[in-house]
Structure formats: structure tokens, C-alpha cells
């Protein structure tokens, strides 16, 4: 049966070639898109694995909207410090109204272990570090905004209590602490008794996940650098976009497969009718057309895959040469096999559906029998 | 009349539904592809905040325009260029907010508001004395349910630091900026890991009666002139006055900048090939692949109607008239199917926007934003393809009619040359 189908296809070689040529671009488009998307995804995934996340963390009370609004006892800091982390720095943060003469600004007070704070943030100190109860260091930005200089007296209004403090230094940490006033933790607890023994968050460094999971009981721990999250997110965005694109391509391929397979069946219907008229069984006639379809689908897929690989490689080289475009298609044999089998089944399936309609049509029109 | 008759003949065959289906899917696929790619390109090309009369100054030899560094002191040189109305120094800080990537833009509130003129939807605009306040674009605010008063913790993507802000307002610009968090300039500098007095870009608003391209050239020239001055030639007075320190990057010597209304567009075109031309090329490749299916389906429809069409030919209709009407019917069908395909495409894009939103880097892309222009391309292409396919298929009826061969096209098609 297969040899008869081959002979019939060869007898109408021009028609067979045209049909195959119609199917080849569809398969080639699928292969080409698969190669380009694989290349992009491989690059994106490789970029994600190259990203080294930071080992700096912030722990604050679970349920708080932000680290600054969190509040927990100093004992929690002691537990964190004891859990194999390094450079643990306690921070108490609260809102305040800061005034220097006539100038005022809404700012925050950061109460901390001054030595640990300066070391962790690589701060530059202009003047001295606050030590006594009424001493304060001003962040570089708030100092600029309120024209604060070393030696100035500033008033700090927080928790309905106004305190007058002496600025003994200006700190440039190039972070958010530059917009606030920095005081020793003990000073803050003494000046604003509502804050006694309370902390907002703890900054620490940890090189392994063990301590993080032990801290995470009733504390939220966040990494203070999001590059790994950004990379992972970009990776998933790319994958999502390419998946949508693949859906569109499969819809196109399915439509093209239906059209082409239907044409194949229509064209061989004359031979089908002749065989039926000569007394062949319905199953024999159908099998012959099915074999023809099988050969056409197989050939189209093989040629399509080859055409897809060659055209993508050529286009990739051309794009790179002309635009400097980094189009790096990837040949993944397993994926190519999957695309090939999917295309083959798609064409064969569409043809089989058209084939199923043939006998009914013949009996209705009476063309063959 | 003949048009209706031929339409009725073709419409009575099952093959015409195949053709309509192919045309519909092709139109939808073309519209979806073009729409997604065009909207991504629109977003990418406006990412830095360029518009008709706004040009961007970026470091020319940086890996990307938003990764460059420029001295803030350059602002005075830029401000003195004729035609420049507003200079807005800005810092880009890729960051995360609630584990989602967001782009934070550090700005000088006054210059930013004057140049961008955003519509404040809720709250009040950022002021120069705000220390821990931020403005949030409406798209981001909607995605993350943010309103004035919301507390946000931004984690630096480049430098290990966090910054906590209170949302002061939600704004709308109708540009990719609606996906960003706008903070004071120094906050952008912390999160980006830059020293004070260094920025990523300058945006310049050009007077309405000046050409942006001309002003961009003038700006290039002004910076070159400033670069020629001895190292340290920057205006030290402008280095964030009042700060008890200065930046190392205050000199212009050796500074290489690019000034253009199309900085990000050129960047994305160069690095990822995201240009209008390439987008149309990709869409055209899809279309060419599908045109084979259109020709196939139309030929089958004509083939199945060969007897009826042959009858029309034998009762006296000229081959020209028959062919022409066939082409008209197919073109009209192509037009209708392409319009229907647009509805299908719109539905697909709505599903995509709802369940799998398109995101390019930090910016949400609504693929429906470019649907109008994509639709025009789609309808034109599909209708033209139908016309071309019909013209090819109608060749079947262009042979001269021989009286004793009533259905000669049919016989020739099926049995070869019957005249021998």
C-alpha cells in the first residue's frame, strides 16, 4: 500500500512538490521561532544564575507595613545577634519634626549603636559621633535642607515631646539615614521614654540560610538588595512573552495545516474515486489517501526543520552583520524533535479529519459511486 | 448581481469556511503580533521620558542610557543653550517593591513637575523639602493598590540598601513613567549606588518654536566646549549647594554624551533589534508563511465550485468578468474576515492583559495600546493577500472557452491537457 502511495505521489510529482512547499514554511516558522525563543531563554536563565545576591538582611516584626513602623523588644535583637549572624545593628526609627531656627522639616530620628552603624554603612563623619544624651549627628541631606552646621542646636519634636539637641557631627552615608538625625540608642530611650527597650529593625549580614530561617519565626527577614529578584522577574517576563507568541504561532500553524491537509485530500479525491469505482474497499481507499498524507507530512516536516534551521542561522548572521543585533538562536535537538512531531501530528490530524469527510461527500454527490 | 451569484456559489461550499477560518486566524495573528511588538516598542522608546519636545542627554559610552553617569554640574551648561527651557536631572535606580521590580526615578521635584506636568490623580505633588515622600505612577499604583499615605519599602537593585517612603500622590502622564516611583534626586542616588551630584540623565524641554534635533546638536556642542576646559571646569557652585562634601565627578573633561529625542529608541533598536522596521519584518514573515495557507484555501474553494462557475462561463459570462467578480468576492471576504479577525485578536489581547500581562523590564505594556495601528496593517495585508490569492486562483477561468469542452478548466485541472 505504501509503495502504491509513493508511486501515486511520484506520478503527480509537480502537485506533490507544491503541496510540500506549502507546508514547509509553516514548519520552518515553528522551528525558527523555537530556536530563537530557546536562545533568548537560555541567555536569560544564564544571566539569572550569574547574579550573586547580597548577604545583607533586615529583620523586622511580622505584620508591620514597613521596617520603620515595626516595634519589638531589644531581647529579639540579642537573640538575632546570638544566631551566627555578623555585623548586627539595632535601629529604632520614629518620625519627628526637626527645626533649626526658622527652618523646619518632617524627618526621622534613627537611634542605633553608633559604632556599628558607622562601620556597617561606611559613613563619612564630619565632626564627631554623638555620645552624650543631648548630642546628635545630622544626616547630610537634612543638614543641607535646614542649613545645619556642627555646633548648632536643633529642636526635635516626637511623641509630643520637644527636645533640644546639639549637633556634634554631620554624617554622609549616602542612604536614607542622611535625611534624619542619628542618636545613640540609649539617648533616644532616655529622651523619649515611650521608646524604652524598643527597636524597629535589625540589620545584619549572614552568609548562609540557617540563621535566616531561625530568625524568621515572628520576624520578617528581607534581603536589602533586589538584584536577584529583578533578574528572576525578567526571566519569567521573557518566558511569558515568548509563551504568548508560541500560542499565536501554534494557532497559525493549525490553521495552515488544516488548509494544506484539506487541499491534499481534495486533490487525491479523484484517485480515491477511481479506486472506489474499481471496487476497492472503503478502508483500502482511505488507507491509500492516508499513506499519501503520511508521506507528504513526513517529508514536509523534515524539509521544514532543515529549512528552519538554515534560514534562522542565515537570518541570525545577517542581523548581526547589519544591525549588530545579538540574535543567538539555539539548536536543541529534543525541542526540535518535539516541534517536528507536533507539526507532523498536526498536519496528519487535520488531513485525517478531511479524509473522514470524503465518503459521505461522494455518496451525497454521487460522483464516484 | 453577478457578484452576489458568485458569492452564493462559493458560500455554498464547505471550503469557503476553511478559507474564512484561515483569513480570520491570519488577521487575528497578524494583529496580535504587530500589536504586542508595536506596544513594546512604544514603551521602550519612551522609557527615558522622551516626547515631542523633550530630549535626553545621556552618557554616550555607557552600556545603557539609564546606566550612565553624568555630573550634575552639567546642568548649568545645558541651561545656557539657546532654546532650552527646562533642565531636569534624573537618576534611574532599578529596585524592587514587594518583591516586584520597579524603576525608581530620582528627580529634582521642581524641574520634574515643570517639565513633565503630570496630572495628580490623588494627593499632592512632591516638594523640594520632602524627605521620605514619593509619587507613584497610576499603573504601578493600580497594580500594587497604592494610595496617598501608603508606606512603601524599596529595596535597591544595584546597591544593598533600603529606603522607606510614604506615598504622597498618584500621578498620570500617559507615558511609561506611570510605572515608576518618583523620589527626590538624592534618594535615587542612594538606591542606584551613586554619590551625590551624579545623575543618570538630563531631560531637556525645548521651546516650542525650536527644533529638538537642532537644540540637541547645540547641546552636544556646548558640552564639547565645556569638556575642552581644564579638568575641574564644572560649576562647583551647583554641586548640591550646602552639602559639606563634593563629588569626584565634577569635571567635564573627556565627557562623552549623546543628546537626542530618540536615545532609548536608538538603544533598543541597537541592542535588541526593537525597531519599527524589524517589527514589521517579523509580522511580514508570519504573514508570508500564512499566505501559502490563504492561497491553498482559496484554490480549494474555487476548485470545489468549478462546476457552477464553469456553468456561468458556458452560458455566456466572459472569463474576464468571471475572474474579476471572483477576485471581488474573495477580496470582500478577506476584508470581512480580517475585521472579524480583529475582534478575535482583541479578545486574545484582553485575555493576555488579564491573565499574563506583558511586561518589558520594569514597565507594564498594554498590547491593546497599539491595536489601532496594528489593525490597519492587518486589514490591509489580509485584504491584499485575498486579492492576490484570488487573482492567482481565477487564472483557472482565463482560458478561452471551447464550445465542445463545457468544463475544460475542470478537466484540465484533474486530467491534464485534454486537448491532446
Q: How far apart are CA A185 and CA A196, in angstroms?
A: 9
The average pLDDT across A332-344 equals: 83
Task: Please count the other Cβ atoms lying within 10 Å of the Cβ belonging to residue A5.
Answer: 21
Contacts of A136 (CB under 8 A, 6+ apart): A130, A154, A156, A165, A166, A167, A168, A181, A182, A183, A187
Pick among B238, B293, B341 to test the A interface (most A CBs inside 10 A): B293
Alpha carbon separation from B239 to B204, B245, B346 (Å, rounded): 19, 9, 51
Nearest residue to A33 (alpha-carbon basis) of A316, A344, A223, A308: A308
Nearest to A256 among B94, B162, B290 (CB): B290
Alpha carbon separation from A322 to A314, A325, B110 (Å, rounded): 12, 8, 43
Q: How far apart are CA A364 and CA A208, in angstroms?
A: 76
Nearest CA in chain A to B35: A245
**Residue A333, pLDDT score:** 81
pLDDT of residue A369 exceeding 50: no
B29 to A251: CB separation less than 8 angstroms, yes or no = yes
**Residue B264, pLDDT score:** 67
A240 to B359: CB separation less than 8 angstroms, yes or no = yes
A258 to B21: CB separation less than 8 angstroms, yes or no = yes
Q: Which of A225, A251, A279 is the last residue of a domain?
A: A225
A352 CA to centre of own chain: 40
* Mean pLDDT computed over every residue of chain A: 81
Half-sphere exposure of A337 (CA within 13 A, CB side): 3
Nearest CA in chain B to A230: B101
Contacts of B97 (CB under 8 A, 6+ apart): B144, B152, B153, B154, B155, B181
Nearest to B155 among A172, A225, A323 (CB): A225
ipTM confidence: 0.71
Domain that holds residue A356: 2-50+229-365
Contacts of B166 (CB under 8 A, 6+ apart): B132, B133, B134, B149, B150, B151, B152
Half-sphere exposure of B137 (CA within 13 A, CB side): 20
Give the angle subtended at the CA of B265 by the CAs of B259 and B271, to the nearest 5°.
105
Give A95 or B230, the one with higher predicted confidence.
Answer: A95
DSSP letters spanning A146-182: TT--TT-EEEEEETTEEEEEEEEEEEE-SSGGGGSEE
**3-state DSSP call for residue B201?**
strand
**Residue B307, pLDDT score:** 77
pLDDT of residue A174 exceeding 80: yes
Alpha carbon separation from B333 to A251, A254, B206, B383 (Å, rounded): 20, 21, 49, 8
Domain match, A13 and A115 both: no
Nearest to B290 among A140, A252, A357 (CB): A252
pLDDT of residue A171 exceeding 80: yes
Q: What is the largest CA-CA distance in chain B?
A: 105
Q: Which residues of B touch A357 (CB under 8 A)?
A: 14
**Residue A322, pLDDT score:** 61
Contacts of A245 (CB under 8 A, 6+ apart): A33, A37, B33, B36
B163 to A227: CB separation less than 8 angstroms, yes or no = no
Q: How far apart are CA A37 and CA A43, in angstroms?
A: 10
**3-state DSSP call for residue A93?**
strand
Q: How far apart are CA B384 and CA B387, in angstroms?
A: 5
B229: contact with A, CB 8 A cutoff: no
B271 CA to centre of own chain: 16
**Residue B245, pLDDT score:** 47
Domain match, A135 and A96 both: yes
Q: Which residues of B touch A65 (CB under 8 A)?
A: 151
Domain match, A66 and A195 both: yes
B160: contact with A, CB 8 A cutoff: yes
Nearest to B101 among A106, A179, A230 (CB): A230
Nearest CA in chain A to B153: A66
B96 to A229: CB separation less than 8 angstroms, yes or no = yes
Our count of domains for chain A comes to: 2
User: Over the stretch A290-309, which tens digit does the pLDDT of each residue have?
Assistant: 888 888 888 989 998 998 88
Pick among A255, A261, A357, A358 to test the B interface (most B CBs inside 10 A): A255
Q: Which of A198, A225, A252 is the last residue of a domain?
A: A225
B101 to A255: CB separation less than 8 angstroms, yes or no = no
**Residue B237, pLDDT score:** 40
Domain match, A300 and A331 both: yes
Query: Residue A101: phi, psi to the nearest 5?
Result: 65, -125
The three state secondary structure string of B365-386 is: ECHHHHHHHHHHHHHHHHHHHH
**Residue A366, pLDDT score:** 44
A252 to B163: CB separation less than 8 angstroms, yes or no = no
Domain match, A212 and A239 both: no
**3-state DSSP call for residue B151?**
strand
Q: Residue A16 class from Cβ within 10 Å (0-12 exposed, 13-18 middle, 19+ buried)?
A: buried
Closest-CA distance of chain B to residue A155, Å = 17
Closest-CA distance of chain A to residue B343, Å = 15
B256: contact with A, CB 8 A cutoff: no
**Residue B319, pLDDT score:** 77
Nearest residue to B175 (alpha-carbon basis) of B385, B8, B411, B369: B369
Domain match, A247 and A181 both: no
Give the angle subtended at the CA of B357 by the CAs of B352 and B362, to the nearest 5°.
155
**Ramachandran area for residue B115 (φ above 0: left; ψ -120 to 50: alpha; else beta):** alpha
Q: How far apart are CA B6 and CA B11, in angstroms?
A: 8
pLDDT band at A364 (very low <50, low <70, confident <90, very high): very low
Nearest to B292 among A22, A172, A244 (CB): A22
The average pLDDT across A25-48 equals: 75
Q: How far apart are CA A94 and CA A96, in angstroms?
A: 7
Please give the DSSP secondary-structure letter assigned to residue B360: E
Closest-CA distance of chain B to residue A2, Å = 23
Closest-CA distance of chain B to residue A186, Å = 24
Going by their DSSP bridges, the two strands B162-172 and B133-137 should be labelled as parallel
Q: How far apart are CA A318 and CA A308, in angstroms?
A: 15
Nearest residue to B106 (alpha-carbon basis) of B162, B3, B182: B182
A334 CA to centre of own chain: 24
Nearest to A175 among B151, B161, B288 (CB): B161
Domain match, A316 and A301 both: yes
Tell me which range, A30-34, A91-95, A349-353, is most confidently predicted by mean pLDDT: A91-95
Q: How far apart are CA A194 and CA A177, in angstroms?
A: 22
Q: What is the dihedral of CA A296, A300, A301, A306, to 10 degrees?
A: 150
Contacts of B138 (CB under 8 A, 6+ apart): B121, B170, B171, B172, B178
Q: Is-contact A27 A300, C-beta < 8 A?
A: yes
Nearest residue to B223 (alpha-carbon basis) of B187, B256, B261, B267: B256
**Residue A133, pLDDT score:** 83
Q: How far apart are CA A110 and CA A117, in angstroms?
A: 10
Q: Which residues of A touch B292 (CB under 8 A)?
A: 21-22, 25-26, 256, 260
**Which ranges of chain B have pLDDT less than 50?**
230, 232-250, 403-408, 410-411, 414-420
Nearest residue to B19 (alpha-carbon basis) of B332, B245, B264, B395: B332
Domain match, A178 and A128 both: yes
Q: Which of A225, A244, A278 is the last residue of a domain?
A: A225
Pick among B244, B381, B418 to test the A interface (most A CBs inside 10 A): B244
Q: Is-contact B201 B66, C-beta < 8 A?
A: yes
pLDDT band at A325 (very low <50, low <70, confident <90, very high): low
B186 to A255: CB separation less than 8 angstroms, yes or no = no
The average pLDDT across A243-259 equals: 74
Tell me which range, A232-236, A344-348, B273-277, is most confidently predicted by mean pLDDT: A344-348
Amino acid at each position: 500500500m505504501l509503495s502504491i502511495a509513493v508511486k501515486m505521489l511520484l506520478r503527480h510529482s509537480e502537485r506533490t512538490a507544491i503541496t510540500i512547499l506549502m507546508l514547509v514554511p509553516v514548519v520552518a516558522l515553528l522551528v525558527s521561532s523555537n530556536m530563537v525563543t530557546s536562545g533568548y531563554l537560555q541567555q536569560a536563565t544564564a544571566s539569572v544564575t550569574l547574579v550573586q545576591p547580597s548577604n545583607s538582611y533586615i529583620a523586622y516584626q511580622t505584620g508591620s507595613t514597613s521596617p520603620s513602623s515595626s516595634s519589638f523588644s531589644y531581647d529579639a535583637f540579642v537573640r538575632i545577634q546570638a544566631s551566627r549572624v555578623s555585623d548586627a545593628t539595632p535601629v529604632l526609627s520614629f518620625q519627628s519634626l526637626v527645626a533649626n531656627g526658622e527652618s523646619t522639616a518632617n524627618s526621622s530620628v534613627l537611634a542605633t549603636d553608633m559604632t556599628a552603624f558607622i562601620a556597617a554603612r561606611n559613613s563619612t563623619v564630619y565632626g564627631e559621633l554623638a555620645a552624650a544624651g543631648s548630642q546628635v549627628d545630622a544626616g547630610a541631606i537634612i543638614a543641607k535642607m535646614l542649613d545645619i552646621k556642627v555646633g548648632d542646636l536643633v529642636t526635635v519634636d516626637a511623641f509630643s515631646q520637644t527636645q533640644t539637641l546639639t549637633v556634634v557631627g554631620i554624617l554622609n552615608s549616602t542612604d536614607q539615614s542622611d535625611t534624619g538625625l542619628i542618636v545613640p540608642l540609649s539617648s533616644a530611650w532616655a529622651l523619649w521614654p515611650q521608646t524604652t527597650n524598643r527597636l524597629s529593625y535589625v540589620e545584619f549580614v549572614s552568609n548562609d540560610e540557617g540563621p535566616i530561617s531561625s530568625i524568621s519565626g515572628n520576624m520578617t527577614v528581607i534581603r536589602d538588595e533586589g538584584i536577584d529578584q529583578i533578574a528572576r522577574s525578567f526571566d519569567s517576563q521573557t518566558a511569558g512573552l515568548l509563551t504568548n507568541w508560541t500560542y499565536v504561532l501554534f494557532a497559525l500553524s493549525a490553521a495552515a495545516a488544516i488548509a494544506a491537509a484539506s487541499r491534499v485530500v481534495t486533490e487525491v479525491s479523484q484517485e480515491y474515486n477511481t479506486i472506489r469505482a474499481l471496487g476497492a474497499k472503503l478502508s483500502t481507499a482511505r488507507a491509500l489517501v492516508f499513506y499519501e498524507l503520511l508521506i507528504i507530512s513526513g517529508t514536509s516536516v523534515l524539509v521544514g526543520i532543515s529549512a528552519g534551521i538554515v534560514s534562522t542561522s542565515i537570518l541570525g548572521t545577517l542581523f548581526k552583520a547589519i544591525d549588530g543585533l545579538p540574535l543567538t538562536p539555539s539548536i536543541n535537538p529534543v525541542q526540535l524533535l518535539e516541534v517536528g512531531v507536533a507539526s507532523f501530528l498536526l498536519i496528519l490530524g487535520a488531513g485525517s479529519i478531511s479524509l473522514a469527510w470524503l465518503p459521505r461527500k461522494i455518496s451525497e454527490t454521487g460522483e464516484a459511486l | 448581481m453577478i457578484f452576489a451569484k458568485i458569492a452564493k456559489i462559493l458560500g455554498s461550499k464547505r471550503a469557503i469556511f476553511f478559507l474564512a477560518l484561515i483569513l480570520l486566524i491570519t488577521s487575528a495573528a497578524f494583529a496580535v503580533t504587530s500589536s504586542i511588538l508595536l506596544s513594546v516598542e512604544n514603551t521602550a522608546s519612551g522609557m527615558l521620558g522622551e516626547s515631542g519636545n523633550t530630549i535626553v542627554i545621556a552618557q554616550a559610552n555607557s552600556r545603557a542610557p539609564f546606566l550612565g553617569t553624568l555630573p550634575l554640574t552639567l546642568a548649568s551648561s545645558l541651561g545656557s543653550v539657546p532654546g532650552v527651557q527646562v533642565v531636569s536631572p534624573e537618576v534611574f535606580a532599578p529596585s524592587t517593591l514587594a518583591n516586584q521590580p520597579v524603576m525608581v526615578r530620582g528627580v529634582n521635584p521642581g524641574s520634574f513637575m515643570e517639565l513633565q506636568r503630570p496630572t495628580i490623580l490623588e494627593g499632592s505633588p512632591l516638594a523640594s523639602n520632602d524627605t521620605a515622600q514619593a509619587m507613584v505612577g497610576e499603573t504601578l499604583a493600580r497594580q500594587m493598590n497604592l494610595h496617598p499615605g501608603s508606606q512603601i519599602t524599596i529595596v535597591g537593585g544595584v546597591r544593598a540598601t533600603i529606603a522607606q517612603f510614604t506615598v504622597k500622590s498618584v500621578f498620570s502622564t500617559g507615558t511609561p513613567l506611570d510605572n515608576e516611583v518618583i523620589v527626590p534626586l538624592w534618594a535615587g542616588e542612594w538606591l542606584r549606588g551613586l554619590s551625590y551630584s551624579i545623575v543618570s540623565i538630563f531631560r531637556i524641554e525645548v521651546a516650542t518654536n525650536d527644533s529638538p534635533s537642532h537644540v540637541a546638536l547645540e547641546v552636544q556642542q556646548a558640552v564639547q566646549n565645556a569638556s575642552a576646559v581644564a579638568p575641574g571646569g564644572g560649576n562647583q557652585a551647583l554641586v548640591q549647594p550646602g552639602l559639606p562634601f563634593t563629588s569626584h565627578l565634577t569635571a567635564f573633561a573627556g565627557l562623552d554624551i549623546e543628546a537626542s529625542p530618540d536615545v532609548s529608541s536608538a538603544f533598543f533598536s541597537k541592542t535588541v533589534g526593537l525597531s519599527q522596521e524589524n517589527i514589521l519584518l517579523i509580522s511580514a514573515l508570519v504573514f508570508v508563511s500564512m499566505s501559502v495557507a490563504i492561497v491553498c484555501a482559496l484554490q480549494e474553494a474555487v476548485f470545489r465550485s468549478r462546476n457552477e462557475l464553469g456553468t456561468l462561463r458556458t452560458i455566456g459570462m466572459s472569463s474576464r468578468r468571471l475572474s474579476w467578480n471572483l477576485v471581488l468576492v474573495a477580496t470582500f471576504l478577506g476584508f470581512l474576515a480580517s475585521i472579524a479577525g480583529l475582534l478575535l485578536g482583541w479578545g486574545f489581547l484582553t485575555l493576555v492583559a488579564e491573565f499574563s500581562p506583558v511586561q518589558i523590564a520594569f514597565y507594564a505594556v498594554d498590547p491593546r495600546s497599539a491595536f489601532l495601528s496594528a489593525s490597519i496593517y492587518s486589514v490591509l495585508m489580509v485584504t491584499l493577500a485575498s486579492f492576490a490569492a484570488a487573482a492567482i486562483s481565477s487564472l483557472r477561468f482565463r482560458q478561452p472557452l471551447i464550445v465542445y469542452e463545457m468544463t475544460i478548466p475542470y478537466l484540465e485541472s484533474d486530467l491534464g491537457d485534454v486537448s491532446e
